[in-house]
Structure 1
Amino acid sequence: MRHSTLVLKLLAHELSVGVRSMTRYQLISIGLGGAVLLAYGIADAVVALRGSADTLRQLPWLWGSGLPTVMLAVGVLAGLAIGRLARDRAFAPFLKALPLSIAKRRVMAAVAAATFGIPLAAMLGGTVFLACMLIEKPDPLKWAIGSAALFAAGLFAAATWRVLRSAGQDHPQRRDGGTRRSLRLGSIDRARPAWIGIWAWKIPAGDIRRSGQLIAAIIIFTLSVLLAAGASLAQRQAAPAALAALVIGFIVFMLTLRYHPLGSPVLRTAPIGFTRAWLRLMRLPLLLSAAVFVLPASAALAAEPAAWALPVAGGFWLLVLNLAYAAFAAHFMKTPFLAAFSFIAALGYSFYESVEYGRTILIGFVLLILWLWHRARLRFRHG
C-alpha cells in the first residue's frame, strides 16, 4: 500500500461505511429528495440570474472584490474542514504501529486534502463559468479559472495550516504534561449528568489550555462587541449593538456546541433520556452565548432606553436560533461543520423563499427541525 494514499483510502472507506449503514428507504429518500431540491434550486438560480443579468454585469464591486473575496473565503473554510479530516486520519491511533514519521504523515494528509480539493475547485469554477454564460459576462473562462484558482489557493493554504498544526493541542500523539492551564470549568459543569459538557469539549480535567487560537478568538469577539457597543453609544441608536448581540451570541453558540457524546455507548446505555442529555449538552454553550449577548445588549439599552424592545427581542430570537441549531447539531452529532453549513443553508433558503411565497414557507423549516430532532432521538435510543 502506498503510504501517500493511505489517508485518502481511509476517508473513502469511512464514507462507504456511512452509506452502507443507511437503509434502502433512507438512500432512496435522500437521493430523490436531494435531486428534487437540487433541480429546484438550480432552476430558481437560473431564473434569478437571467432576470438580473444587466444589473449583475454592471456591478464593478461584485467582479472586482466581491467574487474574489467570496471564493477565497469559501476555499479557506473548505480547507480548514478537509485539512482537519485528513490530519486526524493521518495521526489516527491505530496507525501508530506503522513506521511513519511525522513528516510522512503530514505528506499523507496533504495528498488527501489536495485530492479532495482539486475536484471541488473544478466544480466551483464550472459553476462560475455557467453563471457568466447565463448573464452573458465577457470572458467567462477567465472568471471561471480565476475563481477556481482563488478557491484552490485558500483551500490549500488553510489545509496546509491544519496539517502543520499536528503538534498542536489536539494532536493525538502530543506529549504536553507540563502545559500551563488557564480556566477551570468543573465548578459550572457539575449538574447531572456531571462533566458532560467538558466531555463534549474534550477538555482534560476540565481545564482550558491557553492557545493562540483561543486568544485570537477572544480578541476577535471582544473587538466585535466593543465596536458594536461603541457604534450604538455614539449614534444613540440601539439597533447596531442589538443586532451584533444576536449575531455574535449565535456564532459563539455554534462554535461551542458539540453533540458527539450522544453517539457514545456510554451515554446511550446510561439511565438518562435523550431530551435531558440534549438539554444538558447545551448548558455551557448557552451560558457562553448569553454572556456574550449581555454586553452589547446592555449597550443598546443604554444608548436608546426607549427602544428596550430591540435587545429583548434579540434575546428571544437568540434563544430560538440556538434551540433550532441544537436540533441540527444533534442530528449531525459528529460533524459540527456540516451541521452549521446545513443550518445556515436551510435557514437562508427558507427566508429567501418566504419573500416570494409568504411566511407560511417557514412552517416547512420548523417541520425540518422537528424531524431532525426526532431522528437524533431515534439514533440515541436505537443506535
Structure 2
Amino acid sequence: MNGRHKAIAAAFRIMAATGADRWSKSFAQGRGVILTLHHVRPAAPRGFSPNALLEIVPDFLDAALGLIRAEGYDLVSLDEAAARLQSPKRKRFFVALTFDDGYRDTIEHAWPVLAKHGAPWTLFVTPGFADRSARLWWLELEEAIRALPRLELALPTGRFAVRTETDAEKSRAFDKLYWRLRKGPEAILLSAISDLAQKAGIDPVTLVERDCLPWEMVRALSGAPGVTIGAHTLTHPMLAKHDAETARREIVESKARLEAELDLPIRHFAYPVGDPGSAGAREFALAKEARFVSAVTTRPGHLFAEHADHLHALPRVSLNGLHQNEAALRALLSGLPFWLRGRGRRLDVE
C-alpha cells in the first residue's frame, strides 16, 4: 500500500472514530450508489501485487452485502437505479452492483455470495475477452515485471530502464511505467507492454483464457434471475484516446455483438478505465446516441437527482481491494469522501 492509500485508510478510520460517516449522511449521501467490482476471489499471498486494488475476497463481499441490508438500503438492478433517478419520489437509499470485464471468478466466487443475499447485479462484458482477441494489458504488465529482473524500453518520451529484482523494485517500476504509459497514446502503451511480455515469455491469450469467461458461460449467465449483461466496448480501449469513429464503433458494435450472441437487449454500458482521461463529453454523447439507458464511469461519487439528466455519465464507487474493512465501506456508503473531494459539488459530468 503506497502513501496515498495509507492516507485514505487513515481518513476512513477517522470518519469511523468520529462518527462522521453517520452524521454527514444528511448532506453527503445521495439517492443511491453504483459499486464497481472486478475480481472476487480468495486471497493469494503475493509480495508484488500491483493490481490488488482490483480484487476483493468473497468474505468481504459477503460482509458488505450484509451491512448494506442491515442498514436498510435497497439492493437494486441498474434498470431500477435509472428508474429511481428519474422518479421525483425519493425512496430508500439504493445500491447497485456492477462487475467489469467478465472474469471467471465472478461466477466461481461472487455469484454464490450474491445469490445468498438475493442481490441483483450487472456484468459488463467485453466481447474481445470472450473471443480471446482483446488484451488484459495491465495484467500482462504485472506478469512481465514479475518475471523480469530488469526492464529496458525505448519509449518516445525517452529510455526507461530500472532493476526489478525485488518485490519493492518491481512495485516501484510498475507504478512509474504504468502511469508514464497511461499518459500517452494507447498504441504506444500496447506496443511497449507487448515488448515486455515477449521478453518475459508471457502469452497474452493465455492470460485472457485463464481469467475471462468464454461465450458459453456468458450465455448461461445472461438468462439467470437477477443478472443483467451490459456492454464494455469490443476490445476495452480508453475511448477518449481514439478518434470519434473508433470510439463510436467500439460502443455501437459491442452492443450489437452482445445482442446477437445473447439474443437479449443490452441496455447499459461501462466505459473502460472510465476516468476523465478515458471517457468524457464526446463518449457520453456517443453512448446516448447508441441508445443505452445508462452508461457508467469510474469517476467516484454518489447518485443524486441531478444525475437524471446525465444518465450516460454516472459515477461509481469502487470496492477497493486495498480497503476491505467496515470503516471503509461505511465511509463510502455515507458519501462523505466524495463530498469532501468535490467540495460539495454533486456532478462531475464534463
Q: Normalised by the size of structure 1, how large is the TM-score? A: 0.28
Bigger Rg, structure 1 or 2: 1
Q: Which has the higher helix share?
A: 1
Higher relative contact order (CA 8 A, sep 6+): 2
Whichever structure has more strand as a proportion of its residues is 2
